[in-house]
Chains A and B, each alone.
Chain A
Amino acid sequence: MAEETWRVVVYRRPGCPDHRGRSAEKDWRAARLGPLKRIRTGQAYDLTGSVTAPTARALAGKLLVDAVMQEAEVRGVGAGGKSARGFCRAVIWPRQGVTDSVGETVRLGARDLRLPVPDKVRAGALFDFWGAAPRKVRRFCETHLMNDLVHRLELEKC
């Protein structure tokens, strides 16, 4: 089977409190970066290897998501997201070679649950920004959310 990468994006269900999001909004305002409607936080997982869409969904449902508080989107990396929803998504990944203990734990968890084990899992922190200029989002991420030494930033308009 060809090597594919599936991205699982996990975030809180509407109505569930998102303290990290509120805290990031506070920081945004303190940094006086201009208009911002809202920040939503979550996690992103890139599952690489002989993983199919159903496998990725199974991993998301059984391992990565707390079904009461969270929901997930699964899509192929590079396949593009759903239709434009008007927000800017920042995912902060550990750089190549930097220990990704969450990613390693996901692999072990998949094995322990007797699910197909991806060859590689990377875990990142996800921030969705509504009503903010992408240029400002990049600046905010670089100054407040990531450490360039160990993280890399992926920014996309959704």
Chain B
Amino acid sequence: MLRGPDFLEASPMELAALSRRRRLSLSDPELAAIRQHFKRLGRNPTEAELETLAQTWSEHCKHKTFRGTIDHVERDELGMERRRRYGDLLKETIMRATDEIRAPWCVSVFRDNAGIVSFDGRRAVAFKVETHNHPSALEPYGGAGTGLGGVIRDVLGAGLGARPIANTDVFCFAPLEQKDVPREGGALSARRVFHGVVSGVRDYGNRMGIPTVNGAVCFDEGFSQNPLVFCGTAGVLPVSAVRKEVRPGDRIVMVGGRVGRDGIHGATFSSDNLSHGIPASVVQIGNPIVQKKMMDALLQAREKGLYRAVTDCGAGGLSSAVGEMGEQSGAEVQLEDVPLKYEGLAPWEIWLSESQERMVLAVPPQNLEALKALFSAEDVLCVDIGFFRNDGRLRVLYGQETIVDLPADFLHNGAPRRHLSSSWSPLRIPAEWPRKGGRARREEDVRETLLEILSSPTVASKEWIVRQYDHEVQGRTVLKPLVGPAGRGPGDAAVMRLDWETHAGVALANGLNPRYSRWDPYWMAASAVDEAVRNLIAVGASRDHVALLDNFCGGNPNEPKVLGELVRAAQACYDIARAYGTPFISGKDSLFNRFVDKKGARKDIPTTLLISALAWMDDVRRAVTMDAKKAGDLIFIVGLTRDELGGSHYGLVKNIVAGRVPRLYPEETAPLYDALSEAMERGWVTACHDCSEGGLGVALAEMALAGELGIYADLRRAPLDGAVWDDSRTDKALFSESNGRFVVEVPPRFRRYFLSRFEGMPAACVGEVREGRKLQTVGLEGKSRAWALSDLAAAWTGGVRP
């Protein structure tokens, strides 16, 4: 029974207070809709009903912001205003791109627990990336571990269950040099969050026997109270196992672990700001060994066709899993049958608990005993807790007492849509990069600057982190995260083979650059899409078979400015995906990444978009790595370098806030990528590295370091935009972060072929690979500079220390 005021008679203020007290995160219109519904029924909602509605209508489950109506206003530099109304931002941007591209290999998109694609009509690949930001801020080890555990279950719950073959992880932290004591509001120090997150993901992924093959780590002041933890998993399943259905009469079976108070209110917690006084119950701690056993049993059951549908028990626990599966048919659950970790849980707690390592299956009654026997043989709990009805009602009982009786239609479609306002106008950042300013002294310190950029934490080697993760378990990994003879080079993308009968496989990559969003979230998002695609091209994939995933993270979307940034980023996703012909197949948003401290001070994260990308590769033996291979080979630069230092790492290390943020010209880059893919397919390319953070300077240094060979590059021969040439500034040529560029190694015998394929495009031979262990460049003013590889290595490996 619900304690507190009579729900039907309570004032809006009393209802809002109830929502706050119970951490329901329900808005006033939502509370009014619930009251209206129960008024019609002539009774008060039960505790469990209110909790069920709150979690089903949560930001986490319903994406209320992205699905709401948004009145968007933009003002350009001249103050000109442009207005647009979005009826459903997700549908009108991300999903619209997919609809319009109509890629025949998109098998299941935006429907299931993960996006599913099939490139050969026989095997399908499921891919999903999730965030676990709020839990990781509170308890980094448990939060990050269960973030990964959750996304693995998403893939296990895609179709009839995909076998996870690869994990990815991307983290955003505050700079580690911040003082190592807890800061305001009880937040953990940056270093503790960093160590906890890294080890949490390591322990979960390694113990599950899934290789972690791709990732990134970004450090920025903006994440000082709110780390971002993105965990992704790709899995393989037969195309015949993509379709699932629930039939009335099917038994509802819970498999995996027992239920405790873990993670209660985790879903509604995601609709709230991170503040002091969050209860411990929202934190989940996982047990990967239990999940590994459950996964093994589940995949055997799939092979035997013992169930008709499966979903994971994630946010919202049983209420979400059973509610979603029974959306059409309805369902009835007996909570007394749910095995508990300990006594004393209230029925609504059993129903809402987010205890990890659980899945829910729809099992034909005749298969129940065989399923139980199979799970019992693997020492995994398998409990029949109810059945799917045929009247569209969700009923939950505890013994004889009915604690939930809701029509599925109201549960899933009864939430009022949100109406929001958003606005965006550019910050007044000087477009011209200073000749002198901040700590920059123009040309004189180009040499020092490269070392500074290499040692800045986002660019520096992450070997200390990467080596903690198993990259090779299962034996499918063709390109690992670290490449080159000494295994030190940061690979652009991972390549995995799908089986051992063919040489087909997939490449996995990501793109992320939250620094650009301070300049313009549109170009931040465009750059993220391009970087993800570019990374795939760099290992030998082609643009024809690339699927994208989006993960938006932002502050409090009730602030028009924060929402305006998200709208602009979503619009860029549509524009670039459409231009590249790369559909989105799944995505997720994590909002309310705002920390409110004890004194009420607020801090939002910079609007951040992670783009994860997956590409088909016909023959993984043709995959190309980024390490310089052979002295005498030619070095080409592909793609135009523009005067785009805004948001660059050059600006970061010199403390300069100025310049133009990198833009993207897909009409120029798309044919360039196609030409490069063809050159790689023909075997003309022996190494390729994309230019991203730190520009050409960092790309050349990383290639040399990874290959343990010298590189000579004359920047005067590189394809440069007129603005760079006019200034004759080597720093712009070397550190601009323009999109759409690669450094490519080509054996001399293929020079002619390679150049002919790039005729009319910005590509030029700028130098060669050399024996001497140094990187040598000739600047635009004709000055030669050299860096010993040992100096580059010292800077690069010293940036991120345990």
Spell out A's residues near B (CB within 8 Å). 23, 27, 30-31, 94-95, 97-101, 104-105, 108, 143-144, 147, 149-150
Contacts and interface: CB of A to CB of B under 8 A. Distances in A.
B59 interface: no
Contacts of A95: 280
Nearest to B203: A101
Given A23-B802, A144-B192, A150-B139, A99 B286 contact: yes
Contacts of A30: 180
A41 B180 CA distance: 21
Contact of B342 (A97, A101, A147): A97
Contact of B287 (A23, A99, A144, A149): A99
A99 B139 contact: no
Interface string B260-284: 1110000000000000000010011
A149 B188 CA distance: 11
Given A99-B284, A105-B289, A147-B139, 14 more contacts: A23-B802, A30-B180, A94-B285, A95-B280, A98-B262, A98-B280, A98-B283, A98-B285, A99-B260, A99-B286, A101-B289, A104-B290, A149-B280, A150-B142
Contact of A99 (B180, B182, B356, B802): B356
B253 interface: no
Contacts of A144: 180, 192
B457 to A, nearest CB: 18
Interface in B175-229: 180-182, 188-189, 192
A150 B283 contact: yes
A36 B617 CA distance: 57
A101 B261 contact: no
Contacts of B341: 99
B138 interface: yes
A101 B292 CA distance: 13
A22 B289 CA distance: 29
Interface string B331-366: 000000000011000000000000110000000000
Given A149-B280, A150-B283, A97 B188 contact: no
B606 interface: no
B289 A99 contact: no
A30 to B, nearest CB: 6
Contact of B138 (A23, A94, A100, A149): A149
Of the candidates B139, B189, B342, the one having the most CB atoms from chain A within 10 angstroms of its own CB is B139
A104 B287 contact: yes
B411 to A, nearest CB: 29
Given A23-B802, A99-B356, A143 B285 contact: no
B138 A99 contact: no
B180 A27 contact: yes
A105 B139 CA distance: 21
Contacts of B379: 108
Contacts of B285: 94, 98-101, 150
Contacts of B521: none
B139 A101 contact: no
A101 B286 contact: yes
Interface string B286-298: 1111100000000
Nearest to B181: A143
Nearest to A96: B342
Interface in B23-65: none
Contacts, number: 53
Contacts of B355: 99
Interface centre among A23, A94, A105, A149 (most CB of B within 10 A): A149
Name the prevailing secondary structure of the B interface residues: loop
Nearest to B146: A99
Nearest to A149: B280
A21 to B, nearest CB: 14
Contacts of B182: 143
A144 B181 CA distance: 8
Nearest to B261: A97
Contacts of A99: 260, 262, 284-287, 341, 355-356
A143 B183 CA distance: 10
A57 B280 CA distance: 35
A150 B181 contact: no
A101 B284 CA distance: 12
B565 to A, nearest CB: 31
A106 B355 CA distance: 20
Contacts of A100: 285
Given A97-B260, A101-B285, A147 B188 contact: yes
Contacts of A147: 138-139, 188
A31 B180 contact: yes
Contacts of B283: 98, 149-150
B762 to A, nearest CB: 49
Contacts of A104: 287, 290
Contacts of B192: 144
Nearest to A145: B192
A41 to B, nearest CB: 15
Contacts of B288: 101
B664 to A, nearest CB: 42
Contacts of A143: 181-182, 189
Nearest to B285: A99
A105 B290 CA distance: 9
A101 B356 CA distance: 11
Contacts of B286: 99, 101
27 contacts: A23-B802, A27-B180, A30-B180, A31-B181, A97-B260, A97-B261, A97-B262, A98-B262, A98-B280, A99-B262, A99-B284, A99-B285, A99-B286, A99-B341, A99-B355, A100-B285, A101-B289, A104-B290, A105-B289, A143-B181, A144-B192, A147-B138, A147-B139, A149-B280, A149-B283, A150-B139, A150-B280
Nearest to A27: B180
Nearest to B260: A97
Nearest to B138: A149
A111 to B, nearest CB: 9
A31 B283 CA distance: 27
The 4 closest A-B pairs by CB, nearest first: A101-B287, A99-B285, A149-B280, A147-B139
Nearest to A30: B180
Contacts of B181: 31, 143
Nearest to A142: B182
A27 B189 CA distance: 12
A94 B189 CA distance: 20
Q: Which of B138, B142, B355 has the most CB of A within 10 A?
A: B142
A30 B176 CA distance: 13
B731 to A, nearest CB: 35
Contacts of B189: 143
A101 B192 CA distance: 21
Contacts of A98: 262, 280, 283, 285
Nearest to A120: B342
Nearest to B279: A149
A138 to B, nearest CB: 14
A100 B280 CA distance: 15
A95 B260 CA distance: 13
Nearest to B191: A27
A140 to B, nearest CB: 11
A150 to B, nearest CB: 5
A97 B188 CA distance: 22
A98 to B, nearest CB: 6
Nearest to A139: B181
A137 B355 CA distance: 33
A128 to B, nearest CB: 21
A39 to B, nearest CB: 16
